[in-house]
Structure 1
Amino acid sequence: MTTTTDAPVNNGPWPYAAGYDNCPEVLDPIPLSVKGTIPPWLEGALYRSGPGTYDLKTESGKDIHIQHWFDGLAQVHRYEIQKGGQVSYRSRNTSNDLRAEYIKAEKVTGVTFCQRDPCKTIFNKFFTTFKTAALGGGHVLGGTNTNVAVIPTPNFPGLMDKDGSKKPGNPNVRNLIMTTDGNAIQELDPITLEPKGLFSYGAIDDSLLASNLAPAHPCVDPETGDYFTVLLTFGPTAVYKVVRIRQSVKGPAREPDLDVLAEIQSPRPTYMHSFCLTKRYVIVTHWQCDFAAWGVSVLWTGNAWESFKKHDPTLKAQFYVVDRQHGRHVATFECDPYYAFHAINAWDEGDDVVLDLASYKDHTVIGDYYIDNLRNETSGTPPQQAVLRRYRLSSISKHASLSNLNRKKPPTPAPATIDFQLDESINFELPSINPSRYLHPYRYAFGVNRSGLNKTLIYDRIIKVDLEKVKQGDQVGSATFWVQDQCTPSEPVFVPTPNATDEDDGVLLSIVLDGRRRTGFLLVLDAKTLTEIARADMPEGKVAPHNFHGMFIPNCIN
């Protein structure tokens, strides 16, 4: 177990709250001060996404407080690592129309994830939500009046340059989109981060116009470029449409091809933030976080959090297995209830599917991320922590053969089993792996961890887990950490060394909030040892907020 620490510094305001300050945008790139030596092969762009604004002031001087981490107004960051080890930074707010709407109304309006408004009447909630839902299902939303803050993804099929001309910048980024837990996609300029368009999945296929939600995390097959998502439509019977989007056979400038691989009906409309993919299957991870009243509850609460049902310990969770090639729901597995935000990896192992998740006891963890709680040094409550858990879905072809005999009925559920899980003391979230191991067996998982040794309410360490040691029963020896006093790391992004043979030969990139200086830095770690190689310091006053996710796109393919 490796740790890196600095001597404690306890002067000044509580350092861990700075990540929930408003983050000023930096529209023109600025150079960062680099300490250490960035590997000469590491060239490209690190994109980070998440909330950047929580507090607004109206023209009349009234304060508007965004209550929850997930509802902070979107901001996207771009760290460019250039030849010679130089680093530049820029950022942009990407929901300015929504910001203006809040300021004009002097309150948070529309449907949110967790914002509470006891002054709203049921009628006003219903009307605002109905209007938002109608817009969300349309072809083109336009503007920046939707908060799309979660996942950056490059090269979405059908958004290629229609004139075929070469554009400046990284040739590996033909376009850049942002997704969130709704039927909305925002296209950004890959260099300036300026919003270029906002549209729904219904813009690609009319059959998806009525869909309400989609996981913020899509799955993309790195070999084929196929893009997968799961669209949920509310109703007395919830319908999950498993969708594949791929480049048109007529060329990248044409509308993409979209196939609905399966429609799965369920009495449970569930909030799902991610799901799993293997070379053969799409696995819908139907955990327990269910909307009340068929999803209509959102209409009178105005937010997702208050519309969720209470956790039911007797209600099983399901895994729906959809055959990628034949486009059919071939098997269902079930297990004891759990909740998750993030799938880590999944793969085919003989006739089984193996999948790893960062799992929680229940979805009450969402309520732990209210900003007033996270900013509270004296009585704030640490959020529930996730554990890394491995599930196995056995003998898929056997269940597929049985379901093939009676296509009019859904597959009979079979038990999912747990191969292992990490101890709760080695909690694990915001996962990252070597991208070459995606959809394949792998050994190393990287993420963030809360030690409980510091006063921060969220993560204070980067963690590396050796899953082979976990399988052998060595829980303690499986974990390696990086930690620095009064610093809060973000999700680590793994970048492999060119032509590497070892799975952990590469670097980890994390944006770290330095609470002592109330600013931040880009951290470069040796992924084998979690020792620091270099860092690029943000200027004073440029806060690195607690953001969600990121991805690194190299200037050339390794």
Structure 2
Amino acid sequence: MGSQFLEDNFAPVSQEHTITELEVTGRIPEHLDGRYLRNGPNPLSEVDPATYHWFMGDGMVHGVRLRDGKAEWYRNRWVRNPFVAGLLGGGPSPRAERNEVSCGLDAIGANTNVISHAGKTLALIEAGVSAYELTDELDTVGQCDFDGTLPGGYTAHPKRDPATGELHAVSYFFGRGNRVQYSVIDVHGHARHTVDIEVTGSPMMHDFSLTEKYVVFYDLPVTFDAESAVNLTMPPVLRTPAKLVVSALLGRVRIPDPIAARAAGRIGSNGDLPYRWNPRYPARIGVMPREGGNADVRWFEVEPCYVFHPLNAYDDGDSVVLEVVRHPKMFDREVHGPGEGASTLDRWTVDLSAGKVLEERLDDRGQEFPRVDERLVGRRHRYGYSIAIADGATPGDSVYKHDFRTGSSVVRSFGRGRQPGEFVFVPASPGAAEDEGVLMGFVFDAATRRSDLTLLDAETLETVGAIHLPARVPHGFHGNWAPTE
């Protein structure tokens, strides 16, 4: 049985490139001085199509260096955790020591996001797996625990406060039982604040929202599935008692780290994902003051659904406004990746005075990977961007620009057979208007089997320039612009 997540442009590439001669159509604006980086799953070893989950592939980071109106290089590199380093024959990666919580999870690659912070390039993943530090040229340095200030893994979706430059994040790990961790990393790359928050059970909390006043938690019904995990990690004779033990522990007490680590290590790289849709689990969001604690979280029920990615959030008087991409379900019938119905753009307004949530549909077209001007994270914004999604995971041919002031949107189609990934906004200058700058992202061309780093005018969505790669970038997850410091 085949898997759509191993076919067409989901299929992995088999080679690392360093290319310094890149063809460019149009122009590269002179103000762009930095690297566009994008992370995604790229299995190195042979995988079983019947069990492979898109989220579990070995991490590969792609990057294009722009400076002085030129494209200086394209590189792609596997993130060399010990598993990948062993397969490539290089031995364990530097600084590959195991930390106390994520021990055993290092077989799963940091494959979801890539950011720059405090002078470092960091490849990120969630669920208690370690972040990895990379060089500017994308070679692996080793695990990152923020100089020992945040052991136990991180998250794929930190948010940078534009006022302070600090990274805020919410991290989950099934070994923590019914707790997730809110953390703040300062501008020097050290954790200055951590808080444990009690949730209903053991949810997959992929992302969160941040406003000027609040942290927002998405406690939604995709949860750690003991049966799936045990089937993956135990011989048949031990599965029934193991399921009973794991089910009893989850959501009630913290699983001892050696037990969780042993199970996670056997799940290993490029396998199944032990999270499933759980119709018995309540769907709710939690709102906590930024400097608050577990007792300060207020919980609000919402209609059952799943959210991978909020677009943005902001305070509005006594309300908190959340704009999210809402999936009706996740990992119910389709357990190898997203594919449970149309993912729509919705607005949830949390009325803190009335104690209720107003849920509105803003756009019923299938879409994902929403982004906003990073200078407005946690602030009221006018514009947001997303890409068309055909069937829950496969990109369509379009980028959407949403105008939340007028309620209108602009569509940029790249044409038949051309599929964009996530696009990010880069302002023309620090004081530029909200859509004064470029959108950049990879676009795959099925006819040539190659990808371009495409630059769009953020105001009009017209092409400014395209850097043509002599290879393709598989459909992956998240990217960011890393400006030269």
Give the TM-score, by structure 2 length. Answer: 0.79
Specify which of 291, 297, 311 is matched with residue 325 of structure 1: 291
Report how far residue 259 of structure 1 moved. Answer: 2.1
Q: Deviations over 1:449-487 (max 9, x none)?
A: 0368xxx943322111122233xxxxxx52422322211
Of the three residues 450, 454, 458, the one matched with 2:395 is: 458
CA distance in 2, matches of 1:31, 1:444: 35
> What is aligned with 2:241?
none
The aligned residue for residue 40 of structure 1 is 30
| 1:444 aligned partner | 383
Q: For 1:475-515, what per-residue CA distance to the aligned partner results, in whole angstroms no more than 9, with x for missing partners?
A: xx524223222111110011112265532111111111111
Aligned residues: 436
CA distance 1:515–1:235, change in 2 (3 Å): closer
Q: Distance in 2 between matches of 1:103 and 1:39?
A: 38
Q: 5 Å matches for 1:14-33?
A: 17-26=8-17, 28-33=18-23
AA aligned opposite 2:397 = D
Q: 2:480 aligned with 1:535, yes or no?
A: no
Deviation track 1:119-142 (CA, whole Å, cap 9, x = no partner) reads xxxxxxxxxxxxxxx956358999
CA distance in 2, matches of 1:428, 1:318: 22
In the TM superposition, what is the alpha-carbon distance from 1:194 to its structure 2 partner? 1.4
C-alpha separation in 2, matches of 1:34 and 1:494: 20
- Out of 297, 300, 309, the position equivalent to 1:342 is 309
Query: Could you tell me which of 147, 167, 175 is aligned with 2:120?
Result: 175
Indicate how the Cα distance of structure 1 residues 96 and 515 shifts in structure 2: closer, same or farther if over 3 A, else same. farther
Q: What letter is aligned with 1:46?
A: Y
Aligned residue type for 2:379: H
Q: Tell me the equivalent position of 1:279.
A: 212
Change in CA separation of 1:232 and 1:389 when aligned onto 2, cut-off 3 Å: same
Partner of 2:238: none
- Is this contact kept in 1: 2:184–2:193, CA < 8 A? yes
- For residues 96 and 548 of structure 1, what CA distance do their matches in structure 2 show? 19
Rounded Cα–Cα distance in structure 2 between residues aligned with 1:64 and 1:136:
29
- State whether residues 160 and 377 of structure 2, in contact with CA within 8 Å, keep that contact through their aligned partners in structure 1: no
Among residues 148, 152, 158, which one is paired with 1:218 in the alignment?
158
Which residue of structure 2 lines up, in the alignment, with residue 91 of structure 1? 76
RMSD across aligned positions (CA): 3.5
1:31 aligned counterpart, secondary structure: coil
| Residues 444 and 503, structure 1, Cα contact 8 Å, conserved in 2 | yes
Residue in 2 that maps onto 1:227: 167
Q: CA deviation at 1:538?
A: 0.9
After superposition, the Cα gap between the structure-2 partners of 1:322 and 1:502, relative to the gap in structure 1 and judged at 3 Å, is same
Secondary structure in 2 aligned to 1:243? strand
* Cα distance change of structure 1 residues 322 and 493 upon mapping to structure 2, 3 Å threshold: same
Query: Which residue among 352, 359, 367 is the counterpart of 1:428?
Result: 367
Conserved? CA contact 1:138–1:200, under 8 Å = no
Structure 1 residue runs of 5 or longer lacking an equivalent are 1-15, 57-62, 105-133, 157-173, 371-380, 400-413, 471-476
Q: Once the 2 structures are TM-superposed, how far is the Cα of residue 257 of structure 1 from its aligned partner?
A: 4.3
Q: 2:418 aligns with which of 466, 487, 498?
A: 487
Amino acid in the other structure paired with 1:536: I
One of 125, 129, 139 as aligned partner of 1:194: 139
Q: How does 1:137-536 map to 2 (within 5 A)?
A: 137-138=100-101, 145-156=107-118, 174-200=119-145, 203-205=148-150, 209=152, 214-232=154-172, 234=174, 238-247=178-187, 252=188, 256-261=190-195, 263-292=196-225, 293=247, 294=250, 299=263, 302=267, 307-312=274-279, 315-327=281-293, 329-364=296-331, 367=334, 369=336, 384-395=341-352, 414-418=355-359, 420-424=360-364, 426-450=365-389, 457-470=394-407, 477-498=408-429, 501-536=432-467
Question: Cα distance 1:74–1:317, how it changes in 2: closer, same or farther (>3 A)?
Answer: same
Contact 1:369 1:383 in 2 (8 A): no
Shift of 1:335: 1.2
Deviations 1:51-88 (A, max 9, x none): 233653xxxxxx76682321221111110112133342
1:233, 1:146 → 2: CA distance? Answer: 13
Q: Secondary structure at the match of 1:67?
A: coil
Cα 1:388/1:342, change in 2 over 3 Å: same
User: Aligned-pair distance for 1:40?
Assistant: 2.0
Residue identity in the other structure for 2:327? Y
Question: Equivalents in 2 of 1:47, 1:141: separation in Å?
Answer: 27
Q: Does the aligned pair in 1 maintain the 2:395–2:421 contact within 8 Å?
A: no
| Contact 2:32 2:69 survives alignment (8 Å) | no
In 1, the alpha carbon distance for the partners of 2:325 and 2:463 equals 26
CA change 1:366–1:549 in 2 (3 A) is farther
- Asked whether 1:70 is paired with 2:33, we answer no
Tell me by how many angstroms 1:353 deviates.
Answer: 1.1
The structural deviation recorded for 1:365 is 7.2
Unmatched tracts of structure 2, length 5 or more = 1-6, 90-96, 226-246
CA distance in 2, matches of 1:457, 1:281: 33
